[in-house]
Chains A and B, each alone.
Chain A
Amino acid sequence: MTAQAMTNVGTPVSESFEPKIVGFLCNWCSYAGADKAGSSQTPYPPNVAVIRVMCSGRVDPQFILDAFHKGADGVMILACHPGDCHYKEGNQRAVQRYRILLGLLEQFGIEKERCKFDYVSAGEGEKFVRVITEMVDTVKGLGPLTLPVRAY
């Protein structure tokens, strides 16, 4: 049995399941993108709780693991587009760490779709709404995350 299959055994996906998702947003682009979505008053699902960091490069992989450990069903890291980083290259570090982390998540039995990295610029309010909506849909589709480790 694969780790992935083991994870969700006996966890029927409820229609009313509202996932808890933690979103790390960089201050300069993605957080501003979220504000743009707000200014245009475009509704989107309320499932993502935002943690503002100065740069996506600050997102320590342990934050992501900690979030899953404490009950998050999904985690998002939103960064400036490549070349746009306010700190020149923090977003590159972030995406490098993210790619490595994905392999680790699968070993823990966490589907990689539960951890999403994307680029949202300060002008992309619409993209922010789309990325959030898609992520909420994806995690709803996967159902709640149950980790064996939580039992201990």
Chain B
Amino acid sequence: MKIGLYVCTCGTNITATVDAGKVIDELTAQFPESYAAQVEFICAAEGKEFLKDHLIANRPDRVVVAACSPREYESTFMQILAEAGINPYYLQMVNIREQVAWVTPDPAQATRKATTAIRAAMMRVRYQEPLEKIEQEANGDVLVIGAGPAGLQSALFLAEAGRKVVLVEKTPVIGGMPVLYEELFPTMECGPCLLEPFEAQVLHGDSAHNIELLLLSEVTGVTGYYGNFTATIKQAPRFVGTTCIGCGMCVEACPASAANEFNCGMDEKKAIAMPFLGALPNLPYIDPGSCLRSLGQDCQLCLDACPMPGAVDLEDPGRIVERKVGAIILAIGSKLYDCSKVNGLGYGEIPGVYTSLEFERLASSNGPTAGEIKIPGGSSPASVAIVHCVGSLDPQHQQYCSGICCEYAFKFNRVLEHKLPGTKIHHFYKEMVTAGKSDFVMYEHARKNPDAGFIRYREIEEIQISASASGQKIAYRREDNTVDSIATDMVILCPAMVGSGDAAKLGDMMDLTRGEAGFFDELNGRLHTAQSKVKGIYLAGTCQAPMDIAQATSQAMAAAGYVLSGLAAGKKLVIEPISAFVDEERCSGCRICGGVCPYKAITFKDDTHTSSVNALLCHGCGTCVAACPAGAIQGNHFTNKQILAEIEAILQ
């Protein structure tokens, strides 16, 4: 086998200690069919030209370039091989500058070390195989799950770029959580004012034709991989079609009602109802849990009241659809930590103790009290406690800070100040966090409110809330160890954000891992927070980590960016040849490889009882290759044969 060896002198960088002539003499003697050439600067324009011409003239079977670090120039020389008509994977580089000449002052030692390293490369390169990049067609369409701010932002951005988007939302309405908030921090902008125009764009804007919105829908299955996913989506019946004019006659006629989930169960809504005032799309829906007809009774009062033929369809069976997409964006949001798990706060037991979400609805003009902040007896509170850090920064509950609770707690301070001037507000906090260029504003307002007080506690267990005749009594221990108590009419708990319940189901379906708090794991916490650990599945918003709307929508744009860059129109997916593959003849079906693969690139084929690597998902780390007890997996370009040849040459 003819190996072309090119030794770069790098000016005097290499030859100051390495005797290139001696290296070449020794190796050409050991490999008599090979040839060697000494080049002064092989990376310079003339050096590269020389290499290319020399390769064309000599047609070696394999090429070894002994020069600087392959981390810097390997791809350059691979390209030259390709230009010379030689498979680029026939190249092996040896680093005789950084790892030999520059660190070995003794010329005899440096020459010996360089000779050993190049010999190992020459032994190894003989086993290198011609590898090719494979291109594969990919679907550019995208599935976005969740129609809150993050999901809407991704969907709209992609639709504007001409992509077909399937937007799946499990509720009958779009806008997510913040559309239920009367005001948003840090500017006190109203939630619907911010989101409704945005929702209108998704429903009826210039790019709306690119978005297929599936409400009351859940993804029930995902198969395939990056570029070629198939999703199964189950859409529950709405019983109301698009010919509905939103007049509300059906709602008036409906005799049944049940707890209103959009108001955290604090009031009731009819079995056929708009989700809430201003909800988009402006269509009522039937809740089968409370509809008399769904419960077996012979009722069709809504249908009878409806002035639009066909708008109410009591026989709507729902449907199951299948959609093919190239990528998936998860924007399913999060939920609040269950406050009843925190002892002593009386959540769920003591009247007048609310979560922050419940308070948002009490303060909203489309909420259960039409925006009047009232306590259970019907009067307005004169004294309100806002407890920060509930279940946060606490090893008993969640160890992290959610980063948004102080912000909205100070927003509540403003809301109370506006709506109920003179109300006493007591902020109980463990730590106070208001990072960001404009977020201190809310905090400053709270500090300047003469009716607001701040009490720092050490552990949440040192706050004990009990019911009293007029409201609640809060007994507490301050951080300075003094104890005290106050009487309040209302308590607002600001709990940690945690992963939503749907995250577990969707995570299992798509092989996504989640941390303890239930948030999806990102590929890298600094560089790739919008990318999940599975290629082609991206994360946007609070399903990845606690964050505010600004961060969630930015991440949504990042997720959409990955899709637009990775699945660009007319671009095929490139399968890098440095990947692993399973020799099915030798595979015993033990599945150890699948367990160690960090990228879920290995699937088990039930019919043949063997594992197989999806080269598109494989990153070529070789962990499975080392793990396979049968030696059935080969790691391309780093095969056992190649590495064992290196070992042998080193130890000659």
Q: Residue A66 at the B interface, CB < 8 A?
A: yes
Given A34-B98, A41-B103: 12 more A-B contacts, CB < 8 Å: A49-B120, A51-B650, A53-B638, A53-B643, A63-B644, A70-B648, A72-B651, A87-B598, A88-B599, A90-B623, A93-B627, A129-B103
Closest Cβ of chain B to A84, distance in Å, is: 10
Complex alpha-carbon distance, A152 and B623, angstroms:
32
Q: Residue B205 at the A interface, CB < 8 A?
A: no
By the criterion CB–CB under 8 Å, are A20 and B98 in contact?
no
Of A9-17, A54-62, A106-114, A136-144, the stretch lying at the interface with chain B is: A54-62
- Of the listed residues A20, A58, A61, A87, the one surrounded by the most CB atoms of chain B closer than 10 A to its CB is A58
5 closest cross-chain pairs (CB), A and B: A38-B98, A58-B622, A57-B623, A87-B621, A55-B621
Complex alpha-carbon distance, A114 and B110, angstroms:
24
CB within 8 Å of A: which B89-133 residues: 95, 97-100, 102-106, 109-110, 112-113, 116-117, 120
Q: With A43-B105, A63-B644, A66-B647 in contact, is A50–B99 under 8 Å at CB?
A: yes
B residues in contact with A39, CB < 8 Å: 98, 102
Q: How many A-B residue pairs have CB under 8 A?
A: 122
Complex alpha-carbon distance, A27 and B105, angstroms:
25
- Of the listed residues A22, A37, A46, A72, the one surrounded by the most CB atoms of chain B closer than 10 A to its CB is A46
Look across to chain A and name the residue whose beta carbon is closest to the beta carbon of B106.
A46
By the criterion CB–CB under 8 Å, are A59 and B95 in contact?
no
Complex alpha-carbon distance, A22 and B578, angstroms:
23
Q: Residue A117 at the B interface, CB < 8 A?
A: no
Instruction: From the candidates B97, B523, B619, B622, name the one contacting A53 in the complex (CB within 8 A).
Output: B622
Complex alpha-carbon distance, A32 and B99, angstroms:
10
Closest Cβ of chain A to B626, distance in Å, is: 4
Q: Residue A124 at the B interface, CB < 8 A?
A: no
By the criterion CB–CB under 8 Å, are A54 and B622 in contact?
yes
User: Digit string of B12-46 for contact with A (CB within 8 Å is 1, else 0)?
Assistant: 00000000000000000000000000000000000
Instruction: From the candidates B120, B621, B622, name the one contacting A51 in the complex (CB within 8 A).
Output: B120
Look across to chain A and name the residue whose beta carbon is closest to the beta carbon of B622.
A58
A residues in contact with B110, CB < 8 Å: 46
B residues in contact with A62, CB < 8 Å: 640
B residues in contact with A119, CB < 8 Å: none
By the criterion CB–CB under 8 Å, are A49 and B650 in contact?
yes
Q: With A35-B99, A38-B99 in contact, is A60–B71 under 8 Å at CB?
A: no
Look across to chain B and name the residue whose beta carbon is closest to the beta carbon of A34.
B99
**What is the interface size of chain A, counting residues whose CB is below 8 A from a CB of the partner?**
42
Look across to chain A and name the residue whose beta carbon is closest to the beta carbon of B109.
A46
Complex alpha-carbon distance, A27 and B596, angstroms:
19
Look across to chain A and name the residue whose beta carbon is closest to the beta carbon of B120.
A49
By the criterion CB–CB under 8 Å, are A35 and B71 in contact?
yes
Q: Residue B646 at the A interface, CB < 8 A?
A: yes
Closest Cβ of chain B to A48, distance in Å, is: 9
Between-chain CB contacts (< 8 Å), 7 pairs:
A38-B69, A41-B102, A43-B104, A52-B70, A59-B626, A66-B647, A72-B647
A residues in contact with B112, CB < 8 Å: 46
Look across to chain B and name the residue whose beta carbon is closest to the beta carbon of A86.
B621
Complex alpha-carbon distance, A66 and B99, angstroms:
24
Instruction: From the candidates B103, B635, B648, name the one contacting A58 in the complex (CB within 8 A).
Output: B635
A residues in contact with B99, CB < 8 Å: 34-35, 38, 50
Q: With A49-B117, A57-B623 in contact, is A63–B102 under 8 Å at CB?
A: no
Complex alpha-carbon distance, A57 and B596, angstroms:
10
Complex alpha-carbon distance, A66 and B644, angstroms:
8
Q: Residue B414 at the A interface, CB < 8 A?
A: no
By the criterion CB–CB under 8 Å, are B622 and A55 in contact?
yes
A residues in contact with B98, CB < 8 Å: 34-35, 37-39
Closest Cβ of chain B to A36, distance in Å, is: 8
Q: Residue A97 at the B interface, CB < 8 A?
A: yes
Complex alpha-carbon distance, A20 and B650, angstroms:
8
Instruction: From the candidates B104, B113, B621, name the one contacting A54 in the complex (CB within 8 A).
Output: B621
B residues in contact with A53, CB < 8 Å: 622, 638, 643
Complex alpha-carbon distance, A53 and B106, angstroms:
28
Q: Residue B246 at the A interface, CB < 8 A?
A: no
Q: Residue A2 at the B interface, CB < 8 A?
A: no
Q: With A35-B98, A60-B640 in contact, is A54–B578 under 8 Å at CB?
A: yes
Closest Cβ of chain B to A44, distance in Å, is: 6
Q: Residue B620 at the A interface, CB < 8 A?
A: yes
Q: Residue B388 at the A interface, CB < 8 A?
A: no
B residues in contact with A61, CB < 8 Å: 626
By the criterion CB–CB under 8 Å, are B643 and A63 in contact?
yes
Q: Residue B625 at the A interface, CB < 8 A?
A: yes
Q: Residue B533 at the A interface, CB < 8 A?
A: yes
Q: Residue A147 at the B interface, CB < 8 A?
A: no
Look across to chain B and name the residue whose beta carbon is closest to the beta carbon of A71.
B651
By the criterion CB–CB under 8 Å, are B626 and A70 in contact?
no
By the criterion CB–CB under 8 Å, are A58 and B623 in contact?
yes
Closest Cβ of chain A to B616, distance in Å, is: 16
- Of the listed residues A31, A39, A49, the one surrounded by the most CB atoms of chain B closer than 10 A to its CB is A49
Look across to chain A and name the residue whose beta carbon is closest to the beta carbon of B111.
A46
Complex alpha-carbon distance, A41 and B619, angstroms:
33
Instruction: From the candidates A34, A43, A51, A57, name the one contacting B643 in the complex (CB within 8 A).
Output: A51
By the criterion CB–CB under 8 Å, are B644 and A22 in contact?
no
By the criterion CB–CB under 8 Å, are A90 and B71 in contact?
no
Look across to chain A and name the residue whose beta carbon is closest to the beta carbon of B69.
A35
Q: Residue A126 at the B interface, CB < 8 A?
A: no
Instruction: From the candidates B120, B578, B623, B640, name the one contacting A93 in the complex (CB within 8 A).
Output: B623
Closest Cβ of chain B to A69, distance in Å, is: 9
By the criterion CB–CB under 8 Å, are A22 and B622 in contact?
no
User: Digit string of B67-98 for contact with A (CB within 8 Å is 1, else 0)?
Assistant: 00111000000000000000000000001011
B residues in contact with A31, CB < 8 Å: 69, 71
User: Digit string of B515-536 for contact with A (CB within 8 Å is 1, else 0)?
Assistant: 0000000010000000001000
Complex alpha-carbon distance, A133 and B216, angstroms:
65
Q: With A43-B103, A90-B598 in contact, is A67–B625 under 8 Å at CB?
A: no
Look across to chain B and name the residue whose beta carbon is closest to the beta carbon of A27.
B71
A residues in contact with B116, CB < 8 Å: 49
By the criterion CB–CB under 8 Å, are A60 and B625 in contact?
yes
Complex alpha-carbon distance, A125 and B646, angstroms:
24
Complex alpha-carbon distance, A49 and B621, angstroms:
21
Closest Cβ of chain B to A65, distance in Å, is: 10
A residues in contact with B97, CB < 8 Å: 38
Look across to chain A and name the residue whose beta carbon is closest to the beta carbon of B647.
A67
B residues in contact with A72, CB < 8 Å: 647, 650-651
By the criterion CB–CB under 8 Å, are B646 and A51 in contact?
yes
Instruction: From the candidates B104, B117, B621, B651, name the one contacting A57 in the complex (CB within 8 A).
Output: B621
By the criterion CB–CB under 8 Å, are A58 and B650 in contact?
no
Complex alpha-carbon distance, A27 and B109, angstroms:
25
Q: With A38-B99, A70-B647 in contact, is A46–B104 under 8 Å at CB?
A: yes
Look across to chain B and name the residue whose beta carbon is closest to the beta carbon of A24.
B643
